[in-house]
Structure 1
Amino acid sequence: MDARSEKEKMLAGDLYVAFGEELFGERQRAKALCRRFNATTEEEMLERESVLRQLLGSCGLNPFVEPTFRCDYGYNIHIGDNFYANYDLIILDVCEVRIGHNCFIAPRVSIFTAGHPLDAPTRISGLEFGKPVTIGDNVWIGGHAVINPGVTIGNNVVIAAGAVVTKDVPDDVVVAGVPAKVIRQLGVA
């Protein structure tokens, strides 16, 4: 029998049950902080940043996130300096999401670390898992893009609007499509 808590299993990327008291309470905390953040006005920039810093695991200098913002736990999200996210960012952070410096995220981007088993009986049982997402420095993610669990995106990357990123992305490229594929190398004369 696995003696680890469901939270320990979740953070390790193993199958876990999300409906326990500890994880439910932590999701409720994140929902309350997201609600507070999303209720701020454009005149309350200091309050917005304060709530963001309470919610996230770590937050660099000059973060700017337009409401609305939603996440599962918050503490698994780490953003670098000069982070900008436009409207309606969703991050399902059952595992770590690490975002580098100077990253820009367009409206309605979704970053998912949560996954569900392909086997129907296992999925129906309530078990799920997560895989971390890492996004490098100087990345621009276009509107309505989706970043799937377990993906690592390199530095100086552009993710085209509407792309669905299912595999790792190397440095210095533009990716587009469903699933996303490299369509252009950047910085090459």
Structure 2
Amino acid sequence: MSQAHEEEVLARIGKGLVYTESEAAFQAPQRRTEQIFEYNHTPPGETEKLRSLLVAIFGSVGERTVLLPPFHAGFGSKVHIGDDFFGNVNLTFVDDVDIRIGNGVMIAPSVTLTTTGHPVHPSRRVDYGRFSEPIVIEDKVWIGSNVVVLPGVRIGYGSVIGAGSVVSRHIPPMSVAVGTPCRVLRPITDDDLTTRTV
């Protein structure tokens, strides 16, 4: 594939337009499949090795990162994580384009962050036709168990996403949001400094 063709495909991907597996195959060297496998099979006491693998896997990774294995990623290299991140088991990154996670983010078990969806009509899904849009999770967000975050979503500073939610639209800062589809339930206020639950 020529460089001009690769640039044309990347431009389409950047606009959220449909592209195919064959068209995007030139990105395969960015996949960190072997390193992800190694991370998921490294004993928990080997902290230096685990840290070096995270640095090798992700596009960028902050300090004091905790990511409990197993985790899964399409690429890994398109994930960017800030400081003081906690990711629980079975976190899945479908990172065909960037996933950007801020500082102080907590993610519960079995969460999926997917930048990619597929066209509704089956003829447009030939050769795994798909579209991709970046996900942004701002600082201090807490995402509950079994949440799915869909392409193009931004979750604002300090927000909480309730367990089992499907997040298909932007969530404003300092909000409690729940449901399928995920909707803002209420703002987070100083009253929450003295309560345990939502």
TM norm structure 2:
0.87
Q: Given that residues 49 and 64 in structure 1 are in contact (C-alpha distance below 8 angstroms), is that contact kept between their aligned partners in structure 2?
A: no
Q: Given that residues 89 and 108 in structure 1 are in contact (C-alpha distance below 8 angstroms), is that contact kept between their aligned partners in structure 2?
A: yes
Residue 26 of structure 2 aligns with which residue? 22
Moved more, 113-122 or 91-100: 113-122
* Structure 1 segment 26-175 matched on structure 2, within 5 A: 26-27=30-31, 30-175=32-177
Residue 4 of structure 1 aligns with which residue? 5
C-alpha root-mean-square deviation of aligned residues, in Å?
1.9
In 1, the alpha carbon distance for the partners of 2:171 and 2:122 equals 30
Pair 10,101 (structure 1): closer, same or farther in 2 beyond 3 Å? farther
The offset of 1:9, in angstroms, is 4.4
Which structure's CA Rg is the greater one?
A: 2
The offset of 1:24, in angstroms, is 3.6
Identity %: 33
Moved more, 117-126 or 158-167: 117-126
Unaligned runs of 5+ in 1: none
In 1, the alpha carbon distance for the partners of 2:94 and 2:127 equals 20
In 2, the alpha carbon distance for the partners of 1:167 and 1:111 equals 13
Q: Name the amino acid aligned to 1:76.
A: K
The offset of 1:80, in angstroms, is 0.5
SS of the residue corresponding to residue 5 of structure 2 reads coil
Q: Given that residues 10 and 95 in structure 1 are in contact (C-alpha distance below 8 angstroms), is that contact kept between their aligned partners in structure 2?
A: no
The offset of 1:34, in angstroms, is 0.7
Q: How many residues align?
A: 186
Give per-residue Cα distances to partners, 1:36-86, cap 9 Å, x unaligned: 110111111111111011010011111110000110111211111000101
In 1, the alpha carbon distance for the partners of 2:29 and 2:9 equals 11
Residue 176 (structure 1) aligned to one of 171, 175, 178: 178
The offset of 1:10, in angstroms, is 6.6
In 2, the alpha carbon distance for the partners of 1:7 and 1:93 equals 16
In 1, the alpha carbon distance for the partners of 2:131 and 2:168 equals 16
More helix as a share of residues = 2
SS of the residue corresponding to residue 130 of structure 2 reads strand
SS of the residue corresponding to residue 32 of structure 1 reads helix
Q: Name the amino acid aligned to 1:14.
A: L
